Each structure stands twice: as structure tokens, then as C-alpha cells.
Amino acid sequence: MLEYWAVRAVVDEARDTSGIAKAAVLAAQEVGNARQALNLLRVGAELAEQHGEAPVTDDHIETARERVQRGRVANKIRDQTEHVSCTLEAIATRQTSGEVLARSKEIQRTYERVAESHATSPLSTLKSIQDHLSDLHMLGFLRRHGQNKGLSGGQYDEYELDLDPAIVLETLTEIAEHTQ
């Protein structure tokens, strides 16, 4: 199907089966639909054209994937409240420093520092943070890993970003700069 539309949308010398296949594979891994693959191919073709290059290569598709992901992340983050954005920044900050999985209490401590750095009064209850973590999980920002350590360790969830933490932090910074 992607080949069908690529034949109609991209001039012959700019088309390469490798680039088309790459777009299909990446789309299948991320969201699994042809619309995403077409979008990657379109953005990849735009990048190739901007650089005066043909055909659309795997590198163009990789760059397109990052650009599309950044746009999607930015749109989703803009729709969030200030406290949800601070929670997201706390998790991304932890991950960039090597702390990939974190419990809600650990995230709360980082969240409080992030909120204060933005001159925002942090939420005072762990339940509020857990609600935001649940929302972020439902929106596809986070992965949640249930842990069961038995009678001595109890049951709890650990969270990690389902996105590149660098992209999240850069996007949050860009949004903050545009709202000032």
C-alpha cells in the first residue's frame, strides 16, 4: 500500500524502495498504521528536497521520524497542565541521569524540585502525583511496571518514559520559552 502511494506522491528519481521499506518498518514499530508511514515518507521526501538530494534514503526517514515524534510530543505536552508538565520533566530528568525506573515517591521528590525551579507551588500529596502518573501512562507518555515483592516488599508501580527523555526535555524548554 505504501509503495502504491509513494509511486503517486514522489517523483521517480526521489523514490527508493529502501526508504519506503524503512518508513513502513518504523511506522509498524511505533503506531502500526499506514498513515504514519505515509507521513514519514512525506517528511523524508521534504527533507531530501530541502537538501537537494534524491532519492529519499533511510537517513531521511530516520530524521523524519525524529521530527514527527517531536511534533507529536510537543502537541501532547502543550495540552497538559503545569503540574503534569512538571511531573513529566521530573521523570525525564531522572532518566537522563541514569535512573530509568522510578517509584512514585522518588518521582515526587524530583517533581517538587522541578516545580520550585519553575516558581510553581508543588502538589502536596503523593496521591496527586500518582494521579498525574496514571494520566501520563494513559496518554502514552509513560510505561508502568507493576512490582510484587511479596509480604516483605509489597506491591508498587515503577514508571519510565515511553519517549526519548532528551526530546521531552527539549520540547518542555521550547514550550516554556514560547509562553514567556
Domain boundaries, the chain: 2-77, 81-179
* Strands (DSSP E) found in 59-175: 102-103, 142-148, 155-161
pLDDT band at 14 (very low <50, low <70, confident <90, very high): very low
Which pLDDT belongs to residue 35? 78
Q: Is 31 helix (H, G, I), strand (E, B) or coil?
A: coil
Amino acid residing at 133: L
Task: Tell me what the pLDDT averaged over the chain comes to.
Answer: 84
DSSP 10: S
Average pLDDT for 149-166:
88
What is the CATH code for 81-179? 1.10.10.10
Selecting from 1.10.8.60, 3.30.465.10, 1.10.10.10, 3.30.70.260, what CATH number does the domain 2-77 have?
Answer: 1.10.8.60
Average pLDDT for 12-31:
62
Which residue bears the cell 510505561?
143
Q: What percent of the chain has pLDDT over 90?
A: 43
pTM over 0.75: no
